[in-house]
Amino acid sequence: KRDTDMTSLVGHFIHGEHVAPQDGNLIDIHNPSTGAVCGQVEMASSALVQKAIDSAKAAYPAWRATPPAKRAQVMFRLKVLLEQHSDKICELISEEHGKVLHDAKGELQRGIENVEFACGMPQLLKGEHSKDVGPGIDAWSEFQPLGVVTGITPFNFPAMVPLWMWPSAIMCGNTFVLKPSEKDPSSALYIAVLAAEAGLPPGVLNVVNGDKAAVDQLLEDPTIQAVSFVGSTPVAEAIYQKASANGKRCQALGGAKNHAIVMPDADVDNVVNALMGAAFGSCGERCMALSVVLAVGDEMGDTLRDRLSAQIETLKVGAGSDNSNDMGPLISAQHFDTVSGFIDSGVSQEADLVSDGRKLSVEGFEEGYFLGATLFDKVKPHMEIYQKEIFGPVLVMLRVPDMQTALELINEHEYGNGTCIFTRDGEAARFFIDQVQVGMVGVNVPLPVPVSYHSFGGWKRSLFGDLHAYGPDSVRFYTRRKAITQRWPSTNLREGSQFSFPSN
Ligand code: NAD
């Protein structure tokens, strides 16, 4: 039986069943477009988190022994169910996150692509084989699952980021405990129910809702073998340190400050369109949002200032449920205050405020957390609005004399998630790709989020750990390698004892 009406009172999904809130430790979920409470989610008790871990542990032996092709059949069915239930999932995303429905569709589509990748993973789990490495000796290496692994996910992609993690993890033969963001937990929970409907055995995927207490318990439990985290940099760093200290494998993806270089030869119409979408889409609450423009030359700076401020005037900001809007609200009243505070800081540090989003009011949605698109020009590297991740609809422009200065700025910044160069000059683009200290690079592509069969990850303080998320790296992250060397007794190959180190 599938309980799809979970928006009002959100519990957990443990051992194949929706677990309704029990202990009454509920926190409110707000609809950011209206500011109203649209539901409540339970912060799992320690006993409930333990139940989820125990369920995953119990499910592991049988799931590990399930042939990869059988695991993949569940993924094929899940893909179909996700497509069938896409409208409902996007409504849940939009209601709790605030992003406009068309943007939620894009998010879900990218998540489905991770499920599609998972469908083909038996191909990547084959291992490597060498025959006759010595007399009558064969060798191979195989990928074995880790056991019970966990994922902790952020509010800004409530459906997609969990799908970066658990489909790959379980395809590798692991079982999983997911801890979604408490701000918008419903879509991940809904998808877990669909996975069960697709045939996933109880316990292979468990979802517990909660906050730091639940996360700490997962990081301390000796059953948990690996931790995938996506969220802000301070939390990512703390989680990486704690997980590592507790002997767990960890990948922790953090925050960002993504720069775009606009060269004097760039196609300005394309640049302006690209910057508008990449800076203000999803209200700037994307880890790949372009939040800094480096205009090469004053002429380009003047042009972008005029063109962007004119486009900002036409931007349609409003409720996430209205598909005609370009941009919805911020996630919470608290985050609204944080982002507004950054704008105040830019003004007090004497950046040039060209478009001021603080003036916006959306008729009929006066209690929503709406902040308009904001543009600062003539920003300097020492300013807080340049140094910090704002995670809102605030685009800051710096004017630089040449590409080398732009490149140095990017390489000196603490974050290294994404970046883009807009140019018609292939030589400049090629040099940029080679030299830039950033994990994901676009050339005239403003949001270079890798497709599902290339892994996703930043450099510097945008990622703690070695392996990136989803794609081929996920096979490495969610498995450990075993190397086997084998010889069967044979009458033709009798050997005496050998005391020298074996070699060919
Ligand atoms: P967040 O760090 O506040 O929370 C992320 C998760 O960690 C949530 O599940 C939350 O409950 C949990 N959490 C929060 N504080 C914790 C603590 N002290 N101890 C243990 N767990 C804790 O992040 P957020 O506000 O939900 O998401 C926005 C941030 O995520 C931004 O910084 C954004 O750049 C980043 N992000 C990064 C990527 C990436 O791929 N690099 C992708 C999406 C979002």
Contact (Cβ atoms closer than 8 angstroms) between residue 409 and residue 398: yes
Please tell me if the CB atom of residue 291 comes closer than 6 angstroms to any atom of ligand 1: no
pLDDT digits (tens, 9 = 90+) for 44-70: 999 999 999 999 999 999 999 999 999
Q: How far apart are CA 331 and CA 333, in angstroms?
A: 7
Distance 285 CA to ligand 1 centre (A): 12
- Give the number of the atom of ligand 1 that is nearest the alpha carbon of residue 211: 11
Residue 314 has pLDDT above 60, yes or no: yes
Choice from 155, 183, 251, 336 to test ligand 1 binding pocket (greatest atom count within 8 A of CB): 155
Distance 218 CA to ligand 1 centre (A): 16
Choice from 49, 157, 215 to test ligand 1 binding pocket (greatest atom count within 8 A of CB): 215
pLDDT digits (tens, 9 = 90+) for 369-383: 999 999 999 999 999
The candidate with the shortest Cα–Cα distance to 37, out of 154, 207, 183, 156, is 183
> DSSP states of 458-485 as a string?
-EETTEESSS-BSHHHHHHHTEEEEEEE
Please tell me if the CB atom of residue 458 comes closer than 6 angstroms to any atom of ligand 1: yes
Residue 504 has pLDDT above 80, yes or no: no
Distance 364 CA to ligand 1 centre (A): 31
Q: What percent of the chain has pLDDT over 70?
A: 98
Please tell me if the CB atom of residue 422 comes closer than 6 angstroms to any atom of ligand 1: no
- Give the number of the atom of ligand 1 that is nearest the alpha carbon of residue 253: 41
Which amino acid belongs to residue 395?
L
- Given pLDDT bands bounded at 50, 70 and 90, which one contains residue 22? confident
Count of beta carbons in the 10 Å neighbourhood of residue 260: 27
Phi, psi of 394 (to 5 degrees): -125, 115
Please tell me if the CB atom of residue 43 comes closer than 6 angstroms to any atom of ligand 1: no
Please tell me if the CB atom of residue 326 comes closer than 6 angstroms to any atom of ligand 1: no
Q: Name 349's Cβ contacts closer than 8 Å, sequence gap at least 6.
A: 380, 382, 383, 384, 385
- Give the number of the atom of ligand 1 that is nearest the alpha carbon of residue 287: 34
- Given pLDDT bands bounded at 50, 70 and 90, which one contains residue 6? very low
Please tell me if the CB atom of residue 275 comes closer than 6 angstroms to any atom of ligand 1: no
User: Does residue 119 have an active-site annotation?
Assistant: no
pLDDT at 7: 45
Distance 252 CA to ligand 1 centre (A): 10
- Give the number of the atom of ligand 1 that is nearest the alpha carbon of residue 216: 20
**Mean pLDDT value of segment 401-417:** 98
pLDDT digits (tens, 9 = 90+) for 171-198: 999 999 999 999 999 999 999 999 999 9
- Give the number of the atom of ligand 1 that is nearest the alpha carbon of residue 231: 30
Q: Are strands 12-14 and 17-19 parallel, antiparallel or unpaired?
A: antiparallel
Please tell me if the CB atom of residue 93 comes closer than 6 angstroms to any atom of ligand 1: no
User: Which candidate in 38, 119, 172, 287 is catalytic?
Assistant: 287
Residue 494 has pLDDT above 80, yes or no: no
